[in-house]
Chains A and B, each alone.
Chain A
Amino acid sequence: MTRHTSEPDLALYASGDLPVWRKLAAAWHVRGCEECRGLVETFRLDRDGLCASANRLPEDIDWDQLSAEMTANIHVGLAAGECVTPRAPKVEALAWWRPAAAAAGILVLVAGAWWLNVPRSDTETIGRALHDMVTGQRGTVAQTIVQEDRGPMVRSSSAGVELVENGGRLGIEQSGLLPAMYSVSTQGSASARYVDQDTGQVTITAVYVQ
């Protein structure tokens, strides 16, 4: 027999707390091993001594008071610990409306800034580009961008006449009227013709490249 049972198992064996199979193994070993048997006897004596000293506790101990004092001491200790330990930030679950309100605010902010700062032609160009991307029309985006890069341009449409040149724009329309007809000239002008519905008076607006 060269291998001894471990001391924790012997201590548990002495108190009768080992599981059945390990208890049988330990009993088999202790029976044949004088050294281990001595240790088991020592554990039993210590246990009996502890039980005897426990029996010597005063009879009038107030266990409830003792429990309360111990609980209070634990709380004091925890509080003291919080004072000297860096505190982890409180993670609070966001209410559902807060992200929604934040998103709506940002949307209003961006839309307002866009409306105030981005020229209409740029918005139209981006709109056309997005439309072409969605509809899959190839080449139109580049053509549109190039179109605006290649010098003065006049255009005529149901929105009136417009000249785009050197970063500036000049558009002329008639209040509340749609043009009855519109056209461009190859010499660099665009015109639109309006007819007053009440008087029949005709007004022709035009823009010219200088």
Chain B
Amino acid sequence: MFSKSIPVILAMLACSAYGQSLNHKIDLPKDSPVGLLSADFGNSNVIARGGANQIEVNASLSLRNSSQKRIRSMTLMVYAQDGAAGGKGSVAVPTLDAAPGETFSIGIKTLLVRPLASGTPAVEVKLDGVLFDDLSFYGPDTLHSQRTMTVWELEAQRDRKYFKNLLETAGADALGKEMLASLARQGDRSRMGVQMVRGRATNVEADRELQFASLDIPESPIELSNGLARVAGNEARAPRFDIRNRSNRTVQHLEIGWLVKGQQGREFQAASVPGDVKLAPNQSGQMTQDATLRFDRPLAIESMSAFVASVEFADGTQWVPSRSAINQPRLRQVVEPSPEEQHLSQIYNKKGLQALIAELKKF
């Protein structure tokens, strides 16, 4: 009798994991500089598990640059249409470089878990922003994509200029060696899963105050000093910095890179600390973030360092560290390479030096 009931039970289990079709919508404005050629949501599905819908979105969008300018980068926003709180996601391509009329594709693989009560599962993909080669921007900018993509583009221009200059002054061999060094640094970089929670930590361990070592970049418009954070176990929270605008322009936003070194001696960039400020020339202030950084694995934090990663002025222009600044031995080992440097080094790695030189000559 038992043997007869097994298939029945398994059939019931299989039925409980019923699949649904996914409602999806791609929202591109009528005057969008990119047009949708096709959208394939073929492998997407919705599975009810317990009290929640698990929505798997596996989409491939084929798009075309319908503008008259080269598109350097693009950000798409992905979110559930159920109206329930739960945030947003994005997929961005910072090294796109699509010429007018050129087609390109973007893949989106997203997993959403939503309460069953939140209604029919649906996912919407929206255009959040497009950045052109002249640094002009199009889009609703809900996710502050313009700022992020402008930083990427400035870093790309900086790095391409550096590598092209290296090619011209020191030759192809020097460029090849520089690419190998870049690949080696990328492979050697420490990584650790991190969590970020807004607000106060609840760690029961007694915390201590730990000071940041400021990695000063002389050309930076912002001077960092007296950085502090409270550290307990493998958590660090409430970072605080004294800042001074040493430029002659008003600063409205800056981003600080947060480096952490464990007792094993490995140092890595754990987080970024962005902040909106209003600092007139020579004005000082304090930047505080009410957030907790927590590492996935046990980590005894030995020391912390910080550096100014980018600055936005009141006129909307941005500053990023120069290549000579990030080539300092101290920063070189820990500062993440730009998306463009990763793009170029991968071309060198996969296709060789001539392909890299051809890529550098494009723009």
Chain A interface residues toward B at CB < 8 A:
98, 101-102, 105, 108-109, 112-113, 116-119, 137, 139, 142-143, 146-147, 150-159, 161, 163, 165-175, 180-190, 193, 195-198, 200-210
Residues of B within 8 A of A185 (CB): 196, 271-274
**Assembled-state Cα–Cα distance A143/B298 (Å):** 13
Q: Decide if A193 touches B111 in the complex (CB within 8 Å).
A: no
15 residue pairs from A and B, CB less than 8 Å apart: A119-B113, A155-B193, A172-B78, A172-B108, A172-B109, A174-B107, A183-B272, A185-B272, A186-B273, A200-B345, A202-B343, A203-B107, A206-B89, A206-B90, A210-B88
- Name the distance in Å between A49's Cβ and chain B's nearest Cβ: 67
Q: Decide if A153 touches B87 in the complex (CB within 8 Å).
A: no
- In the assembled complex, B16 has its CB within 8 A of some CB on chain A: yes
- Count chain B CB atoms within 10 A of each CB in A102, A159, A163, A187 and give the residue with the most: A187
Query: Contact check: which of B84, B114, B191 meets A158 at CB < 8 Å?
Result: B191
Residues of B within 8 A of A193 (CB): 339, 342
Chain B interface residues toward A at CB < 8 A:
2-3, 6, 9-10, 13, 16-17, 49-50, 52, 58, 78-80, 84-96, 106-115, 118, 143, 186, 189, 191, 193-199, 202-205, 239, 258, 269-275, 289, 291, 293-294, 296, 298, 336, 339-340, 342-347, 350
Query: Contact check: which of B111, B193, B239 meets A186 at CB < 8 Å?
Result: B239
Query: Contact check: which of A157, A159, A201, A208 meets B343 at CB < 8 Å?
Result: A201
> Chain A: interface secondary structure?
mixed
Residues of B within 8 A of A163 (CB): 86-87, 89
Residues of A within 8 A of B16 (CB): 116-117
Closest to B203 in A: A143
Q: Decide if A170 touches B86 in the complex (CB within 8 Å).
A: yes
- Name the distance in Å between B92's Cβ and chain A's nearest Cβ: 5
Q: Decide if B95 touches A202 in the complex (CB within 8 Å).
A: yes
Query: Contact check: which of B113, B189, B291 meets A168 at CB < 8 Å?
Result: B113
Could you list 5 further interchain pairs (A-B, Cβ under 8 angstroms) beyond the known A142-B204, A185-B274?
A119-B113, A172-B111, A174-B107, A201-B93, A203-B107
Q: Decide if A171 touches B111 in the complex (CB within 8 Å).
A: yes
**Assembled-state Cα–Cα distance A147/B194 (Å):** 13
Q: Decide if A119 touches B198 in the complex (CB within 8 Å).
A: no
Residues of B within 8 A of A208 (CB): 87-90, 143
Q: Decide if B350 touches A155 in the complex (CB within 8 Å).
A: no
Query: Contact check: which of A105, A151, A197 meets B350 at CB < 8 Å?
Result: A197
The 4 closest A-B pairs by CB, nearest first: A157-B193, A200-B346, A117-B50, A168-B86
Residues of A within 8 A of B89 (CB): 161, 163, 170, 172, 205-208
**Assembled-state Cα–Cα distance A185/B258 (Å):** 10
Residues of A within 8 A of B85 (CB): 165-166, 168, 210
Q: Decide if A156 touches B114 in the complex (CB within 8 Å).
A: no
Given A172-B109, A175-B109, A195-B87 contact (CB < 8 Å): no
Query: Contact check: which of B52, B111, B204 meets A173 at CB < 8 Å?
Result: B111
Closest to B114 in A: A168
Query: Contact check: which of A159, A171, A172 meets B91 at CB < 8 Å?
Result: A172
Residues of B within 8 A of A204 (CB): 91-94, 339
Residues of B within 8 A of A165 (CB): 85-87
Residues of A within 8 A of B298 (CB): 137
- Name the distance in Å between B204's Cβ and chain A's nearest Cβ: 6
- Name the distance in Å between A198's Cβ and chain B's nearest Cβ: 6
Residues of B within 8 A of A182 (CB): 191, 193-194
Closest to B142 in A: A208
**Assembled-state Cα–Cα distance A158/B194 (Å):** 10
Q: Decide if B196 touches A154 in the complex (CB within 8 Å).
A: yes
Residues of B within 8 A of A181 (CB): 189, 191, 336
**Assembled-state Cα–Cα distance A152/B199 (Å):** 10
**Assembled-state Cα–Cα distance A189/B50 (Å):** 28
Query: Contact check: which of B92, B204, B205, B293 meets A184 at CB < 8 Å?
Result: B293
Q: Decide if A183 touches B269 in the complex (CB within 8 Å).
A: yes
Q: Decide if B346 touches A170 in the complex (CB within 8 Å).
A: no
Closest to B60 in A: A175
- Count chain A CB atoms within 10 A of each CB in B197, B199, B271 and give the residue with the most: B197
Q: Decide if B196 touches A190 in the complex (CB within 8 Å).
A: yes
Q: Decide if A197 touches B346 in the complex (CB within 8 Å).
A: yes
Residues of B within 8 A of A169 (CB): 86, 111-113
- Name the distance in Å between B152's Cβ and chain A's nearest Cβ: 8
**Assembled-state Cα–Cα distance A201/B93 (Å):** 8
